[in-house]
Structure 1
Amino acid sequence: MKSNLKKTFLILLFTFFCLNITAQSNHVLWYNQPAEFFEESLVLGNGKMGATVFGGANSDKIYLNDATLWSGEPVNANMNPDAYKNIPEIREALKNENYKLADELNKKIEGKNSESYSPLGTLEINNSEKGKAVNYHRELDISNAVSKVSYEMNGVKFTREYFVSAPDQIMVIKLTSDHKGGLNFDINLKSLLKSNVEVRNNTLIMTGSAPIHENAGYTVLPKYLDIKERGTKFTTLIQIKKTDGKITNSRETLILKDATEAIIYVSVATSFNGFNKNPVTEGLDDITIALQNLNKAFAKPFDQLKESHIADYQKFYNRLTLDLGKTTAPDLPTDERLLRYADGKEDKNLEILYFNFGRYLLISSSRTLGVPANLQGIWNPHLNAPWSSNYTMNINLEENYWLAENTNLSEMHLPLLSFIKNLSVTGKVTAKTFYGVNEGWASAHNSDIWAMTNPVGQFGKEDPSWACWPLSGAWLSTHIWEHYVFSQDKNYLKSEGYPIMKGAAQFFFGWMILDKNGNLITSPSTSPENKYIAPDGFIGATMYGGTADLAMIRECFEKTIKASKVLNTDADFRAKLETALAKFHPYKIGKKGNLQEWYFDWNDEDPKHRHQSQLFGLFPGDHITPEKTPDLAEASKKTLEIKGDETTGWSKGWRINLWARLWDGNRAYKMFRELLKYVDPDGKKTETPRRGGGTYPNLFDAHPPFQIDGNFGGAAAVAEMLIQSDENEIRLLPALPDAWETGSVKGICARGGFEIEMNWENKILKRVSVFSKNGGKTTLINGDKKQNIVLKKGEKHEINW
């Protein structure tokens, strides 16, 4: 009997041991080979400096970026001072239903294109001794924002450790050999921009400048770069700290010989000093800043640098933890794991890893005031990046920040909020000169670090379907309210937020006109990047009273009204907005049961178009809900069904959130799985390539090409499936899919300044803990159950549901 018990115990112990060593990690990406393509690399960042690590054995390549290195200089907002004079003519053409003429005339309301986010340079570490690496392992641990590489070559074990520190504004790379004197390598730097590289006092120095002007397909032209007083300057400094061995150099290379351990310090800086300052004549001293950061970090021991980096990072990352129950997925490298998941296999920890990775990317790319995460976060290797790696404000920039507040990263929202403040400055000129509105501010489809607000299109050369769209101020202003309603920071709302919201509302109050039925509409109007088919067969973009316009302005007005009430200010203006809202052209449900995108029930040129802007009121807005507006919610559902589930990465991220808001957890989960569909790196040649929207081997979102918004939108959608809230109520597990029948979450946030911890079993909520940051009341809702709670500041309330 004892023998059998002992045998059973040993089997159970062995099973437990096996399960634990093979359980997939929810915070480590790892691979058995170096990265060959950008979409296989591992990225690090401190919210300003970005590093893309390939982890090669014989030669390691690291792309370097700085969030503030862009082409261009402060924008001349008054670039097209008479553009607004064309508005009456466009409106007249629309009134006469001459859409072709309206489309042509709308091109006269265009300005310059945005500037481009620039690559800083490439750092290469080349081993002197070449050989075949065995037992290779490469990883990124997103619980501490540290990447590691280890391998053996010619009987020697080598390790590398990489991180980019926010407290010390430095990148640190530690290299070790388990044989004395085993490290022999050289370091070089190069840039796609105009630059100079030299070694002085055992410091590798690269200085250069970004182009002062960007055009589609531009190359770096010397005539731009040789103008002394223009263009953002940059500096990169590299030093090696060794335990033994010898440092030598050539003119452009640092060389280390016969060392056992070495630490490489990489410091970068630019002269950017704000959106409205010439980066040369009024710029920061990039050389001095880079040198100061280098010297301070060099004086500190490696362990101290690493500890302060991890402590700083984890104070954000550790605020939220998610568990989705038991997983039976085997332990595989991340690329193989994605392939297995694409075959329909279960891997709950991969789903958590993707969610955690989204939070990691936001912490790593959004910590510089006035410089939010761009289309690629901060990780761009291209001189001519896709879409200039700019701020695309008809969805993409906003989607980057959907997870900021509800996943407990409110501080990461501040770069966007301060950027909106910059837009409100240049946008005052844009409102007057492009649209003839003398109050408030406007911003359009694209922007850049210089807070450009004009409609793009190269002064009439581009299609109005994307170039002519003055609505981003409405959308962006709702982020200000989101920050307030989650944080309850009334001082911010009063001193900065509300004046910006009011300015956005003032513009639209002046921009809207009455239609023939006496309802308020926009004219001209477009629906982002989509086109209609008119009854005469004309395919166009310029119209009036587009649903997306009215949905966004409705949200803008409603949130501005709420803000004025919170601050007890501007009662007269508030009354004007309330009166205007009552006169808005109403939503229309089309003959297919869909929510109309256009003023008339016209067909789309592309019925499955990636944009779903007419559904803005459902998400990210909140004036369409299954409970408050069931007919509009049903029409939104029909619209999504017509569009289908197959779409690009960021669009899929948006659609998952929309299905979550319709409380359809299984449909949202189906699309979430599709978002994690394995996609081959763009440059990889295979017999059966896997392309389309999805996820690259390094978990980057495939639009394709890489766009980070899908990562952020997908992570936000996980939170949206677990919790939804407004100023008065919190819905717990509103769109919980069957696949996540058991789990727990801690640190997820709700509007009203609440932080939630909860666990559930068999899809039944078991326990909820609610913490109030500032005191307040709310109603908790789960299924048919409701519970009202009132909490004091700092108070926590626990409920066994």
Structure 2
Amino acid sequence: MKKNFLFFAGLLLTIIQTSAQQNNHKLIYNKPATQFEEALPLGNGRLGVMVYGGVQSERFSLNEATLWAGGPVNPDMNPQAKTYLKPVREALFSENYKKADSLVHFMQGKFSESYAPLGNLFFDFKQQGQPTQYKRELDIQNAMSKVSYTLNGTAYTRETFISHPAQLVVVRFTASGKDKLDFTCRLNSLLHHKVSSNGKVLSMNGHSPIHASPSYYKNEVIWDDVNAMRFTAQVKVLKTDGKFNAKDSTLHISGAREAVIVLSMATSYNGFDVNPGTHGKNELKIAAGYLQKAAPYAKLLKKHTQDFRKYYDRVQLTLGDEDRAEFNTTDRLNAFAAGKNDNALVALYYQYSRYLLISSSRPGGLPANLQGIWNEKVQPPWSSNYTTNINAEMNYWGVETANLPELHQPLLDFIGRLAKNGVVTARNYYGAGGWVLHHNSDIWAMTNPVGDFGKGSPAWANWPMGGNWMATHLWEHYAFTQDAAYLKEQAYPLMKGAVQFCLDFLVADKKGHLLTAPSTSPENNYITPSGYVGALLYGGTADLAIIRELFNDYVKASELLNADPDVRNQVKTALKKMLPYQIGKAGNLQEWYYDWKDEDPHHRHVSHLFGAYPGYSITSSANPELSDAVRKSLTIRTNEGTGWAITWRINLWARMQNGERAYDALKKLLRFVGNGAEVKMNGGGTYANLFCAHPPFQIDGNFGGGAGIAEMLLQSHQGYIELLPAVPVEWKMGQVKGLIARGGYRIDMQWENGKLISAQLKAKKTGDCKIKYRDKTISLSVAAGNAYSLEELL
């Protein structure tokens, strides 16, 4: 009897734990969203939807990744820029920083274009009364939104997913009870558009602006019917047991127990260098083709689930507190902010970062932008562009460790397009070879300095290190995947071009050290001993850290491929001559050439710490003094900041192997700031839908936060794989499966009471590797495809 009781008790516990773990892949709410920061994101890499979950009226805000303002750029827009390079350098080296700041304005160009919102799809329901048992959820394991409630004795459900195989938004409505479905579909847009129907399909056709200025600069939106990007959205009833008709500008369904609606979207985008108006693709034909090929609902769902979970299921993470997984997500955020431990919320946040990347970055498509693919404004924050002095790169910090290498490809492909325009920019602005990229870019692969030809601050407008930072991703993808063909055919030529620009751009100071001039530390300002507050200098630490990383990557790639020994030797020589890292009198890693004060000591950017993360020219094992200086700099900067800035601190503290400080930053990242609340500019957090608050919403914080959690669990940048290098005491127990280390090694591990109890490594290639846990390191000879227990480390 006792054995039977124990058996069933154990079985019940297993069922409860399994249910909790399944729910920990869900965001759950008990009321509809009232604004963007509460709505729930769906995406397939190209199509994006924000689901609001309304009862009387449901709203889907719609995006298509290629719908941008503008058209192909003219990279030759400021041919006089390079004539100012010499005067700027002369002013800098004569210590006349005010003059240099003034002259460099003549080396600016146009602003980037903006990512545009396609529109909205509404479902207006003919039902009155207050619903009961309302539930709105996002299942991130299956990439499905679900809304359910009871109204006047009838249970209603609404399931939505976006199929990558079918390239369709799919919505299934059901009604169970005395009443039936009765609703109208309609479309609208903030862009120029018209809505019509042919009796079966409801269509909205329009076009984006030819230019949309950054919202922080001026309220300017310019329209052009001929050259602008065109778009279409087409709605069709796939299945219903009721009546339906499409008439004028609406589609109506009535008397139904079930209805399945499919939505197709497309644009005329035909490449970064092709006019989308005069030589664009036929967006109407493309969208109609997807509708015509739509399979029955069950088949659409099956293929969608299989497609999504082939990525999502590669990593599993459990940190405890699964009993909280069934609670309302907003309540969990509030409780966590009040000091209630919720490790399951941390695990959910990590998987949510993976979910968002799978939903916004697919092979063959565009990289995730500043808001992923989700944007509702014609002039979105910072144009929802590719901000390349941290944010675009941060989107992909965690992609390789998260076992999603294919999703890195959109960024790597984008680098190839940037290099084509960047060659012209390098020549015209600096008289240099190779290619260059500055602070911002867009779908048109713009590479010039921004600032509207002299109106931008040099602190951000004149920063030429974007291409070099981007190029480090080329090597990182190889380091994790060990794909030799990719390295030779795609990565190496682009790395070589970025290297060539740096070799041409570097100049010597009075002591013979190679450095950059002009230089800035992104968006930060210094104060000279005389009291001048400036941006431009020579030899900024951030520049040199990025170039040092690129040069080291290039040397490794060149040696592996046995390519270009002459260039490789130039790079090695340059590395030896580069201005070394310097430690300031406060014990901090010096940000400027001189030991100047910062205008804002707590500045959100920590670009001068690039060498510690995402780079690794400063490591705790090889550079203990510099690592201490990094720690001091982080202490001075504090763990406060905008959303993405906090995530940079998480990753840096993890690299410095301080789990408690990393966890402190993580707690600040998960600080609930309300539903769309505009928190102060130096204090980010998390919105109700777990979007990161810069503020406002920027998705880089979600991706950077996920990368930071993984960095606390696994590191591989020091020539060995380190297990649990920065796990805080709060994570007493846990299990992770499927994380990837450099070299292509898959790692599974489990720990209890803060101590590793099991670990396994699976090799992608035959060779040798080292694995470290605490004070113990082992060497292992491995064969491709084999798995190895790491019991010696326990």
Which TM-score tier does this pair reach, normalised by the shorter chain? over 0.9
Residue in 1 aligned with 2:289?
A: 292
**Whole-Å separation in 2 of the counterparts to 1:200 and 1:10:** 60
* C-alpha spacing 1:14/1:757, structure 2 compared with 1 (3 Å): closer
Determine the C-alpha separation between the residues in 2 that align with 1:398 and 1:711. 13
Equivalent residue number for residue 147 of structure 2: 149
Q: 1:133 aligned to 2:131?
A: yes
**Does 2:386 match 1:411?**
no
- 1:655 paired residue among 649, 654, 669: 649
Contact 1:557 1:577 in 2 (8 A): yes
Corresponding residue number in structure 1 for 2:297: 302
- Secondary structure in structure 2 of the residue aligned to 1:108: helix
* Cα distance, 1:370–1:58 mapped onto 2, change above 3 Å: closer
Local SS of the residue matching 1:781: strand
1:720 paired residue number: 711
> Using the alignment, how far apart are the partners of 1:602 and 1:754 within structure 2?
43
Unaligned runs of 5+ in 1: none
CA distance in structure 2 between the partners assigned to 1:381 and 1:375 by the alignment? 13
Matched, 1:202 2:193: no
Matches of 2:206 and 2:178, distance apart in 1: 38
SS in 1 for 2:66: coil
Match of 1:435 among 430, 435, 448: 430
Q: Which amino acid aligns with 1:264?
A: I
- Say which of 86, 89, 98 aligns to 2:87: 89
Tell me by how many angstroms 1:257 deviates: 1.3
Distance 1:12 1:272 in 2: 57
In structure 2, the residue matched to 1:225 is 224
Aligned-partner Cα distance in 2 for 1:554–1:632: 15
CA contact (8 A) 1:44 1:145 kept: yes
Q: Are 2:468 and 1:477 equivalent residues in the alignment?
A: no
**Could you say which residue in structure 2 is the equivalent of 1:578?**
572
Corresponding residue for residue 213 of structure 2: 215
The AA in structure 2 aligned to 1:254 is: L
Conserved? CA contact 1:93–1:102, under 8 Å: yes
Aligned positions of 1:259-658 closer than 5 A:
259-297=256-294, 300-327=295-322, 329=324, 331-367=326-362, 369=364, 371-437=366-432, 439-658=433-652
Give the Cα separation in 1 of the matches to 2:517 and 2:654: 32
**1:766/1:15 CA distance change after superposition, 3 Å:** closer
- Relative to structure 1, the CA distance from residue 432 to residue 265 in structure 2 (aligned partners, 3 Å threshold; closer, same or farther) is same
The amino acid across from 2:147 in the alignment is V
Tell me the distance in 2 between the aligned counterparts of 1:793 and 1:40: 46
Alignment CA distance shift 1:201-1:727 (3 Å):
farther
Cα deviation, residue 12, structure 1: 8.4
Q: Note closer, same or farther for the CA distance 1:308–1:527 as it changes in structure 2 (3 Å cut).
A: same
Quote the offset at 1:19 in angstroms. Answer: 6.9
In 1, Cα distance between equivalents of 2:284 and 2:326:
46
Return the letter of the residue paired with 1:275: F
> CA separation in 2, counterparts of 1:344 and 1:136?
28
Which amino acid is 1:312 matched to? D
Deviation at 1:245, TM superposition (A): 1.8
Separation in structure 2 between the aligned mates of residue 141 and residue 15 of structure 1, nearest angstrom = 23
How far 1:745 moved relative to its partner?
A: 1.1
Contact 2:171 2:260 in 1 (8 A): yes
Contact 1:727 / 1:751 at 8 angstroms: preserved in 2? no
Structure 2: how far apart are the matches of 1:156 and 1:650?
A: 44
Opposite residue 797 of structure 1, the aligned amino acid is Y
Shift of 1:181: 6.1
Contact 1:370 1:422 in 2 (8 A): no
- CA distance in 2: counterparts of 1:273 and 1:327, whole angstroms: 47
Q: 1:244: Cα distance to partner?
A: 2.1
1:736 aligned partner: 727
Give the Cα separation in 2 of the matches to 1:41 and 1:700.
10
Residues 143 and 92 of structure 1: is their aligned pair in 2 closer, same or farther, counting only changes over 3 Å? same
Residue in 2 that maps onto 1:780: 771
Contact 1:329 1:347 in 2 (8 A): yes
**1:11 and 1:109 mapped to 2: Cα distance?**
73
Code of the residue aligned with 1:339 in structure 2: it is N
Q: Read off the aligned partner of 1:716 and give its amino acid letter.
A: A
Name the SS of the counterpart of 2:263 in structure 1.
strand
Q: Distance in 1 between matches of 2:325 and 2:301?
A: 31
Contact 2:201 2:246 in 1 (8 A): no
Tell me the residue number matched to 1:709: 700
- Offset at residue 326 of structure 1 (A): 5.0
Unpaired runs of at least 5, structure 2: none
Q: Tell me the equivalent position of 1:747.
A: 738
* One-letter amino acid of the counterpart of residue 305, structure 1: L
Deviation of 1:25 after TM superposition, in Å, equals 3.0
Taking the TM superposition and a 5 Å limit, the aligned residue runs for 1:1-20 are: none
User: SS at the partner of 1:40?
Assistant: coil
CA distance in structure 1 between the partners assigned to 2:364 and 2:517 by the alignment: 35
Deviation at 1:15, TM superposition (A): 7.7
Any conservation in 2 of the 1:186–1:253 contact (CA below 8 Å)?
yes
> SS where residue 617 of structure 1 aligns?
coil
Distance 1:19 1:466 in 2: 50
Letter in 2 for 1:43: P
Query: Partner letter of residue 750 of structure 1?
Result: A
1:665 aligns with 2:659: yes
SS at match of 2:133: strand
- Separation in 2, partners of 1:235, 1:104: 46
What letter matches 2:42 in structure 1? L
Write the distance in 2 (CA, Å) between the matches of 1:326 and 1:185.
41
| 1:745 aligned counterpart, secondary structure | strand
* Matching residue's letter, 2:466: S
Mapping 1:38-53, distance limit 5 Å: 38-53=36-51
Distance 1:676-1:498 versus aligned 2 partners, 3 A rule: same
Q: Distance in 2 between matches of 1:689 and 1:462?
A: 23
CA RMSD in angstroms, aligned pairs only: 2.0
1:428-469 per-residue CA deviation (whole Å, 9 max, x = no partner) reads 0000111111x1000000000000000100000111001110
CA apart distance, 1:347:
1.1
Distance 1:19 1:304 in 2: 30
Deviation at residue 683 of structure 1 after TM alignment: 5.6
Secondary structure in structure 2 of the residue aligned to 1:619: coil
Instruction: Tell whether the 8 Å contact from 1:181 to 1:257 is kept in structure 2 after alignment.
Output: no
Could you say which residue in structure 1 is the equivalent of 2:172? 174
Paired position in structure 2 for 1:189 = 187
Q: TM-score, normalised by structure 2?
A: 0.97
Deviation string, structure 1 residues 497-524 (Cα, Å, up to 9, x no partner): 1000010010010001000000001011
Deviates more, 1:511-520 or 1:774-783: 774-783
- The Cα shift of 1:799 comes to 2.3
Matched residues in 1 for 2:9 and 2:416: separation? 63
> Where do residues 755-770 of structure 1 align in structure 2 (5 Å cutoff)?
755-770=746-761
Counterpart-to-counterpart distance in 2, 1:329 and 1:206? 43
How far did residue 763 of structure 1 move?
Answer: 2.1
The secondary structure found in structure 2 opposite 1:126 is strand
CA apart distance, 1:251: 1.1
Structure 1-normalised TM-score?
0.96
Cα pair 2:45 2:365 within 8 Å, conserved: no
Query: How far 1:348 sits from its partner (Å)?
Result: 1.4
* CA displacement at 1:243 relative to structure 2: 2.9
How far apart in 2 are the matches of 1:773 and 1:701?
Answer: 34
- Aligned residues: percent identity? 50
Report the CA distance between 1:720 and its aligned residue: 0.4
Deviation at 1:368, TM superposition (A): 5.2
Conserved in 2, the CA contact under 8 Å of 1:242 and 1:259? no
Q: Quote how far apart the aligned CAs of 1:225 are.
A: 2.4
1:527-570: CA deviation from partner (whole Å, max 9, x where unpaired)? 00000001111111010000000000000100011110111111
